[in-house]
Amino acid sequence: MFQYLRYAIVSRKDWEQIRDEKLNPDTPGRIPQNLDELCKLTFDANYPISIGCGSIYGWLRNWMGVERISMVFYDDPQWIDEMMEHLANLTLKMLENVAGKCKIDLGSWWEDMCFNKGPLISPKLFAQFMVPKYKKITDFLRYECGCEFNILDCDGNIHELVPLWLEGGINVMFPVEAAHTSAYKIVEQFGTRVAIRGYFDKRALIAGKEAIDKEFVRLKPLLERGGFIPHTDHLVPPDVSWENYKYYRQRKREFIEGLFP
């Protein structure tokens, strides 16, 4: 994990400097000169087109630290809202450049705001500060670019936040860590409204071939149901052997082909 001598944002003055120097949507060079040509390619693409949507909480947590951002939610909620609003507006300002010009299949988000027992902020604060901002962006993508799917990367136990992300228009969960979150529980609660990507327990890759086989059997009902893309529930650990990883890839191919010949 990262270690910090000092977080980038300690005071409002720090935020204002970063906002003006690093997060100005009008900074030259943000938009490629051939953007219109790239947009035209999306209509005939034979592969999914995704676009980055950034972060509402995760970036701020990295810049401020968990303790600091948690305190500011209570000490100065107006400042938190100001920062989150700026991040949302930055994303919207960028997306305006492709509005009506391209077909987007997937909006991609990053948050990492849950630990092994649940979220780093309360669902109440999440609903108040974050859901409306997500919704502005996901609605924009749907209306202007035909985008029906938004995927969000968050580790840990995400159960309390899934319904709120869904309310904000985010309907694909990733990586759904098997140690902390049950994809089966999410499916039982939300059905086809929420899709899953990940959920293959990465610890099985360390344990060996028998554990890998058992993991695919565990995931079979999800794959048969649909709305599920299996792969490791986050980065492959460094203590996974090359032989085990090759076996995992081989068995996944065989497993999927066996269900969908």
CATH of the domain at 58: 3.20.20.210
pLDDT recorded at residue 89: 97
C-alpha to C-alpha distance for 143 and 141, rounded to whole angstroms: 6
125 is a domain residue: yes
CA of 194: how far to CAs of 6, 111, 151, in Å?
Answer: 38, 17, 10
- Could you read off the pLDDT of 20-57 as tens digits, one per residue? 999 999 999 899 999 999 999 999 999 999 999 999 99
Phi, psi of 71 (to 5 degrees): -70, -40
31 is a domain residue: yes
Residue 259 pLDDT > 90? no
Structure-model confidence comparison of residues 3 and 109, the more confident one: 109
- Could you read off the pLDDT of 77-95 as tens digits, one per residue? 999 999 999 999 999 999 9
pLDDT recorded at residue 39: 96
pLDDT confidence of 258, banded at 50, 70, 90? Answer: confident
255 is a domain residue: no
* % the chain with pLDDT above 90: 93
234 is a domain residue: no
pLDDT confidence of 234, banded at 50, 70, 90? Answer: confident
C-alpha to C-alpha distance for 120 and 112, rounded to whole angstroms: 9
204 is a domain residue: no
pLDDT recorded at residue 146: 96
230 is a domain residue: no
pLDDT recorded at residue 79: 98
The pTM score is: 0.93
Work out the end-to-end distance of the chain between its first and last CA atoms, rounded to an integer number of angstroms.
42
User: Sign of torsion, CA 224 116 149 53?
Assistant: negative
- Could you read off the pLDDT of 106-136 as tens digits, one per residue? 999 999 999 999 999 999 999 999 999 999 9
- Could you read off the pLDDT of 215-225 as tens digits, one per residue? 999 999 999 99
Specify the number of domains making up the chain. Answer: 1
| Mean per-residue pLDDT of the chain | 95
229 is a domain residue: no
187 is a domain residue: no
Q: What is the mean pLDDT of residues 234-250?
A: 94
pLDDT recorded at residue 161: 98
- Could you read off the pLDDT of 192-215 as tens digits, one per residue? 999 999 999 999 999 999 999 999
Residue 261 pLDDT > 80? no
Out of 10-14, 126-130, 235-239, least confident range: 235-239
Of 59, 68, 51, 49, nearest in space to 86 by CA: 59
Q: What is the mean pLDDT of residues 226-249?
A: 94
Per the structure, the complete domain to which residue 36 belongs is given by: 12-170
